[in-house]
Structure 1
């Protein structure tokens, strides 16, 4: 039953949640400046397609869920950008070293089992000086909210496919050797603070 839920139900719930129109301005900001061939980690149902700049010439989508990939079909079909499905596991990419101009990750590092491995792989496949654009939720800046996040995280992980609430986006990026070039941390409106602490920015491969 759990596997059926994660395979068939969860991708639809994630698509609905991540497709919230209130997040659209943040997706615009995260995608701004993307150009050339990009790798998108956690492609999902293709919510970011509408936010790709015209300068993006091709996208390799890293998405393990067949259900999410099927859900993305309408957006992919109507997109002028060439989009192909790449590796299924972002922690072990088959893509060649130094083959991407930029990478994009939105609401993905919270769920990846080993984010350090995923970030190391992104760094490997980026060209020297390549940029990672990110929009992620994670550890809140306030101690009071952090305490609540730690209490409810086991429930969150069980219901949301392993989604963590207490991962520090900035910490993960720095630990992976990225140089953060822009970072904006804030609470998204319209959602409880324990799940709406967002980090938006860019980081370059060191």
Structure 2
């Protein structure tokens, strides 16, 4: 799945957003993880430096070749063992029931089929495993309407990203229960960005009894 124009833009903007506070959000997203983790859509590997050393294996599944090459380079400097492999969120090259956690950041907004991806995350997780997410969401009021208008062209420029998708609704419809979440704006104080409304949290499969 090649998208070289988006990949080059992603490479250029990544460091700027990390310095503006996204690095701290990544630390919050990944805190406390342990065991075997699957990250779907790691991009250039910006999450890699923030994984705690209690993670013994990280499988990073990236479909875009340019981003995957950058992630492979970043994996060499990561504090945990990282395997960067080709694949998509809807078809992870991971055995059933082998992951302690799945991590996504900016994935549900861009995958062609969010429900298929969420079902695939459930497949690879062991019983009681968790999904860590940092995702764009549709805002309310004027912001939401602005995102709806932007959705006409934004996906073509930004690798299929739909700024007006409702990540929390997608989770619940797929049988996931958010057990911890906080809604935020990034960058803080952003007024015109169509991807500023975000949600960060943890979800588990609703029928496990975790609430």
TM-score (norm 2): 0.89
Q: CA RMSD in A?
A: 1.6
Is it true that 1:197 corresponds to 2:197 in the alignment?
yes
Question: Contact conserved, 1:183 with 1:200, CA < 8 A, in 2?
Answer: yes
Residues in 2 aligned to 1:118 and 1:198: alpha-carbon distance in whole angstroms? 19
Aligned to 1:89: 88
Gaps of 5+ in 2: 207-211
The alignment partner of 2:153 has SS state of helix
For 2:177 and 2:134, how far apart are their aligned partners in 1? 16
Which residue, out of 171, 179, 182, partners 2:180? 182
Match of 2:7 among 6, 11, 19: 11
Matched residue, 1:58: 57
Matches within 5 A, 1:50-199: 50-140=49-139, 142-188=140-186, 189=188, 191=190, 192-199=192-199
- Give the stretch that moved more between structures: 118-127 or 142-151: 142-151
Task: Indicate how the Cα distance of structure 1 residues 7 and 193 shifts in structure 2: closer, same or farther if over 3 A, else same.
Answer: closer
Where does structure 1 lack aligned partners over 5 or more consecutive residues? none
Moved over 6 A (4+): none
Q: How many residues are paired up?
A: 201
- Deviation string for 1:108-148 (max 9, x for gaps)? 111000011001000111011101111011211x2211111
Question: For the Cα contact (< 8 Å) 1:96–1:125, is it kept in 2?
Answer: yes
